[in-house]
Chains A and B, each alone.
Chain A
Amino acid sequence: MKIKQMIDLINGKLVNDLTKEKMEKRYQKAFACDLMSDCLAFVNDEDCILITGLMNKQALRTAEMLDIDCIIFARGKKINDEMLEIAVHNNMTLITTHYTLFEVSGILYQAGIKALKI
């Protein structure tokens, strides 16, 4: 699934600009979690989207270590400049949405995004 389609489905807001390459990139899997150690333990695929309610720098650092380049922040809070800086540095796409973690996961799952095999 392309990012544009994802954003339409979850009524999301794109935080930073997309490169052409990112616009065309297709994602097939997602991992939803607020515990960063669990992400670090279980995410074994860099083409995986991270869905989280954790709105802080640690979520971005975790994604950075895992080579994850797309994060959806559930329950729409604000992303600060420091978070944005880490995202830009690592060519990450950040999306916010008002939907909860459960809703985002359900919508994307129904649309064909798969769970990570862990």
Chain B
Amino acid sequence: MNIDFEINIYHEDYHNAGSASSEIKKYLTQLGLNPKFIRKIVISSYEAEMNIVIHSLGGKLKLDIIGNHIILTSIDKGPGIRDIKMALTEGFSTASKKVREMGFGAGMGLPNMKKNSDKFEIKSSPKGTIVRLSWVIE
């Protein structure tokens, strides 16, 4: 099996926030994967999607299935993460009060993605952030 799709995500588009992950969930469900396994992927995808909406200038989520690997990549156009180690600390967040009132900004997104994936990679510069998550299909 070799599929892939991409969904664009826009800065501060709270109206559509979550719909990319909803699409991904629908797609993975159609493939007939185990619901518990799907949950790990879509929790990560939703956190990644919210990070693009909240913290970046816009970007996209990309889903690839290569052999028995599922790869979710979040790519955005900046402004990047200044201190990645800090960003990965549970509870660290630069989110505004407005974002917190919407239920996000608890500083648990990146740690959640790391916890829920088999492999977690992150790279960041002022030009953009790439988070690459992968799973071995169970």
User: Which A residues lie at the B interface, using CB under 8 A?
Assistant: 34-38, 40-41, 46, 52, 54, 56-59, 61-62, 64-67, 86
Residue of chain A at shortest CB distance from B19? A61
Task: Return A109 CB to nearest CB of chain B, in Å.
Answer: 23
Tell me the complex Cα distance, A65–B29, Å.
12
Among A37, A58, A65, A66, the residue within 8 A (CB) of B108 is: A37
| Contact in complex: A40, B43 (CB < 8 Å) | yes
Can you list 24 residue pairs at the A/B interface with Cβ under 8 Å?
A: A36-B103, A36-B104, A36-B106, A37-B106, A37-B108, A37-B112, A40-B47, A40-B108, A46-B35, A54-B102, A54-B103, A56-B102, A57-B14, A57-B17, A57-B18, A58-B17, A58-B18, A61-B18, A61-B21, A64-B18, A64-B22, A65-B25, A65-B39, A67-B35
User: Which B residues lie at the A interface, using CB under 8 A?
Assistant: 14, 17-18, 21-22, 25, 35, 39, 42-43, 45-47, 50, 102-109, 111-112, 115
Residues of B within 8 Å of A67, CB to CB, are 35, 39
Residues of A within 8 Å of B108, CB to CB, are 35, 37-38, 40-41
Q: Give chain B's interface secondary structure class.
A: helix
Residues of A within 8 Å of B105, CB to CB, are 37
Among B14, B42, B103, B107, the residue within 8 A (CB) of A65 is: B42
Residues of B within 8 Å of A36, CB to CB, are 103-104, 106
Q: Give chain A's interface secondary structure class.
A: helix
Task: Return B27 CB to nearest CB of chain A, in Å.
Answer: 14
Task: Return B97 CB to nearest CB of chain A, in Å.
Answer: 14
Among B18, B21, B47, the residue within 8 A (CB) of A37 is: B47
| Contact in complex: A58, B25 (CB < 8 Å) | no
Assess A37 versus B104: contact at CB under 8 Å? Given A65-B21, A65-B25: yes
Residues of A within 8 Å of B25, CB to CB, are 64-65
Residues of B within 8 Å of A57, CB to CB, are 14, 17-18
Residues of B within 8 Å of A62, CB to CB, are 46, 103
Tell me the complex Cα distance, A66–B109, Å.
15
Task: Return B47 CB to nearest CB of chain A, in Å.
Answer: 6
| Contact in complex: B115, A61 (CB < 8 Å) | no
Task: Return A2 CB to nearest CB of chain B, in Å.
Answer: 23
Among B35, B45, B112, the residue within 8 A (CB) of A41 is: B112
Task: Return A11 CB to nearest CB of chain B, in Å.
Answer: 25
Residues of A within 8 Å of B111, CB to CB, are 41
